[in-house]
Chain A
């Protein structure tokens, strides 16, 4: 069974620190990788997406992808209390080509302490 694994946390970081969230996936053919933020009781909100090995930066967020290690991470610089949420990693499921399906991890709860 194809899986996306995340540490459930909680990951506690002080305000202003870098939060590092990690995700591993089992489907070696996956091509698209996404990070979503979900506040308690709310729907997931897209934060970042990455398709190629390496780093992709957007403001305080950096997504890192290593396909050889089947590993994707999200770094949040200058963490703020408003970043406290559950972060979901999602990976497309490969069927030898185009696929519509994402496999979601169960999420990592991030708590930023003021």
Chain B
């Protein structure tokens, strides 16, 4: 069966520090991969999605970036975090277009 791993579970970072969140999927090949952010009390905002290695689509212009160095690895990065980057970051995968997306456990990011 397929599993998705996301780490760390919680992270506290100072303003201006870099960020790297990692997500890996097991048990499937060539998944579609997604990064979302959920601000407190708000809906899910799609940040990036990827249909293959090196293929990244950005949904929201901001100081975040994403990379997919391997088929089942998706990384969310920032060079300098802002206070507004706080939130619950979720990685998800789907088998193909139109199929359900399945979420990892998420990373709760607090910026001080």
A residues apposed to B, CB below 8 Å: 31-32, 34, 36, 41-46, 49, 51, 88, 90, 92, 98-102, 104-107
Whole-angstrom distance between the alpha carbons of A44 and B100 in the complex? 12
Instruction: Flag whether B51 is at the interface (Cβ < 8 A).
Output: yes
State the total of A-B contacts with C-beta under 8 angstroms: 49
Whether B100 and A101, one on each chain, are in contact in the complex, defined by CB atoms closer than 8 angstroms, is no
Residues of B within 8 Å of A105, CB to CB, are 43
Given A100-B32, A100-B49, A101-B46, is A44 in contact with B98 using a C-beta cutoff of 8 Å? no
Interface of A is mostly: loop
**Contact among B44, B90, B97 for A100, CB-based, below 8 A:** B97
Contact B43 A104 (CB under 8 A): yes
Given contacts A44-B103, A90-B101, 12 further A-B contacts (CB under 8 A): A32-B98, A32-B99, A34-B100, A44-B44, A45-B103, A88-B43, A92-B98, A100-B32, A100-B49, A100-B94, A102-B46, A106-B42
Q: Is the CB of B43 within 8 A of A101?
A: no
The B81-104 residues at the A interface (CB cut-off 8 A) are: 90, 94, 97-104
In the bound complex, residues from chain B placing their C-beta under 8 Å from that of A107 are 43
CA distance A42 to B103 in the complex (A): 10
Binding site for A on B (CB under 8 A): 32, 34, 42-44, 46, 49, 51, 57, 59, 90, 94, 97-106, 108
Q: Is the CB of A102 within 8 A of B101?
A: yes
A22 to B79, CA, bound (A): 41
> Do A98 and B97 touch across chains, with their CB atoms under 8 A apart?
yes
- Given A31-B98, A43-B90, A44-B90, A100:B51 Cβ within 8 A: yes
When the two chains form their complex, are residues A106 and B98 in contact, meaning their CB atoms are under 8 A apart?
no
CB distance B105 to A49 under 8 Å?
Answer: no
6 contacts between A and B (CB under 8 A): A41-B108, A44-B44, A44-B103, A99-B98, A101-B46, A105-B43
